[in-house]
Amino acid sequence: MSGWIGIYRAQFKTSFAQQLQYRVSLVLWLLGLVLEPTVVLVVWTTVARSHGGAVGGYDAAGFAAYFIIQMVVNHITFNWVAWDFQERIRLGNFSPLLLRPIHPIHIDIADNITYKILTSVVMFPATIGLIIAFQPAMHPPLWAILAFGPALLIAWALRFACEWALAMVAFWTTQVAAINNLYYLVMLFMSGTVVPLSLLPFPVQVVAGILPFRWMMAFPIELLLGRLSVTDALLSFGVQLLWLGLSLGILAVTWRIGIKRYSAVGA
């Protein structure tokens, strides 16, 4: 156990040092992360106002709450492993990672957590700023506030496992940018990132219910908005955990098969 703590501590230090090397790029990334939900928020609040104050059960303050929470959830759960992976496989940079007596996923986990800690310094005031500017309305019961933490954690793990497994397609195709783009496009709509799922046509809502994306995004958002009953929340946790188990299983299997195909190109 102390060995693992040591490894993570060392990787955190490395990631901090690495990420601080390019401060401007870090700030620009963050700007994008704040701007995206702000733009969507402005669009939806305008739509709500022009529709007599509310669309699909969301008024302007409701939309504000939705997209401010979305920004936080997206910031906590997002990762860039699929993009990293392509470079690793294509340029052979994966080889040194495979030679170390530790699964390469740990580097990505530590890297991800470090980035989140580092950027929370900006995300926290940005969130406060948006709250002041847009006056969101949310009335979550205490249990929902308490459940938000675990839901967010599972959402992070689910997204991480799914995208790590997806990234491994690179073992077969080397190029994964096109697949990544398709994945993100589907995710954007089916997770509740650009539009609350309840505003989508019913058949799309059914499909979104089957796919794993809503458990990465919409579920924690709706939980904190106070829109879920206790039964709904418990059921959602069940499905979320089921998806997590499934994606971890797929991750393990893909890893085992994919690694045999790794041809260490150019390395």
Partner 1 sequence: MVFFPGSGPAIHVLDLRKTYAVTDREAGVTAALGSLVKRRTKEVTAVNQISFEVAPGEVVGFLGPNGAGKTTTLKMLSGLLYPTSGTVEVWGHVPWKRNKAYLRQISLVMGQRNQLVWDIPASDSFELNRAIYRIPQPEFRSMLASLTELLELEPLLRKPVRNLSLGERMKCEIAAALLHRPRVLFLDEPTIGLDVTAQRRIRTFIAEYNQRYEATVLLTSHYMADVEALCKRVIVIHHGKLLFDGDLASLVERFSPYKTIVVQLEELQAVEVDLTRYGYIVSNIDGRVTLRVPKLETASVTGRLLADLAVTDLTVEEPPIEEVIEQVFSEGVTVQ
Binding site for partner 1 (CB under 8 A): 3, 6-7, 9-11, 13-14, 17-18, 21-22, 92-93, 95-96, 98-102, 259-260, 262-264, 267
CA distances from 256 to 18, 111, 165, 168 (A): 30, 23, 11, 10
Instruction: Please report, as a single letter, which amino acid is at residue 18.
Output: Q
Residues facing 211 on adjacent strands: none
Minimal distance, residue 261 CB to partner 1, in Å = 8
Measured from the CB atom, is 135 or 263 closer to partner 1? 263
Measured from the CB atom, is 99 or 210 closer to partner 1? 99
Instruction: Give the SS3 label for residue 136.
Output: coil
Separation between Cα atoms, residue 89 and residue 102, nearest integer Å: 18
Range list of β-strands (E), the chain: 54-55, 58-59
Minimal distance, residue 56 CB to partner 1, in Å = 44
Instruction: Give the SS3 label for residue 226.
Output: coil
Measured from the CB atom, is 189 or 262 closer to partner 1? 262
Separation between Cα atoms, residue 89 and residue 170, nearest integer Å: 7
Minimal distance, residue 24 CB to partner 1, in Å = 14
Measured from the CB atom, is 22 or 124 closer to partner 1? 22
Minimal distance, residue 250 CB to partner 1, in Å = 21
Minimal distance, residue 190 CB to partner 1, in Å = 30
Separation between Cα atoms, residue 123 and residue 262, nearest integer Å: 38
Retrieve residue 130's tokens.
Answer: 């948006």
Retrieve residue 35's tokens.
Answer: 């701007």
Minimal distance, residue 10 CB to partner 1, in Å = 4
Measured from the CB atom, is 102 or 121 closer to partner 1? 102
Measured from the CB atom, is 123 or 170 closer to partner 1? 170
